[in-house]
């Protein structure tokens, strides 16, 4: 979407970002279709089409925050770094997809205190203090 002027672009983007951040996709679509003037109608149509196609996937950050849910990917990125990055990204290392996935599964087992259960499944099956290994193995699929 290319607005006729920089001032209009700022106005449009403020409205769009605010309302998308609050999960109000219909308000944004209505705004794009009725208010926004553009130098490039094809780009505007592309944006409208994208929002229409993905509106069920657009996150309502305000509602998420009010529900006490985390906003951001920091925890996931840290987890990936612990599981994969720390071990597999050392100087000169190369990993096949299968090797990388296998090592990741082992690291997850270690971090979740499931190492014993993974390697000694028969003994673990008889230990009431150990939960199922199925969670770890599900990661492999």
**Beta bridge mates, 60:** 22
C-alpha span between 11 and 121 (Å, rounded): 61
C-alpha span between 26 and 20 (Å, rounded): 9
pLDDT of residue 33: 95
Residue with tokens 């990917």, as numbered in its chain: 73
User: pLDDT tier at 134 (50, 70, 90 boundaries)?
Assistant: low
- Rounded to two decimals, what is the model's pTM? 0.52
Helix (H, G, I), strand (E, B) or coil at 22: strand
**10-65: pLDDT as tens digits:** 999 999 999 998 889 999 999 999 999 998 999 999 999 999 999 888 888 888 88
Is 97 in contact with 132 (CB distance < 8 Å)?
Answer: no
């Amino acid at each position: 979407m290319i607005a006729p002027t920089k001032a209009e672009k700022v106005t449009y983007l403020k409205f769009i970002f605010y309302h998308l951040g609050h999960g109000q996709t219909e308000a944004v679509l209505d705004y794009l279709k009725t208010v926004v003037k553009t130098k490039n109608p094809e780009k505007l149509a592309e944006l409208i089409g994208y929002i229409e196609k993905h509106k069920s996937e657009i996150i309502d950050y305000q509602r998420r925050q009010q529900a006490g849910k985390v906003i951001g990917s920091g925890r996931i990125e840290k987890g990936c770094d612990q599981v994969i990055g720390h071990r597999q990204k050392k100087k000169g290392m190369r990993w096949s997809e299968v090797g990388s996935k296998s090592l990741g599964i082992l690291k997850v087992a270690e971090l979740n205190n499931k190492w014993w259960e993974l390697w000694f499944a028969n003994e673990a099956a008889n230990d009431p203090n150990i939960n199922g290994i199925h969670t770890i193995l599900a990661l492999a699929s």
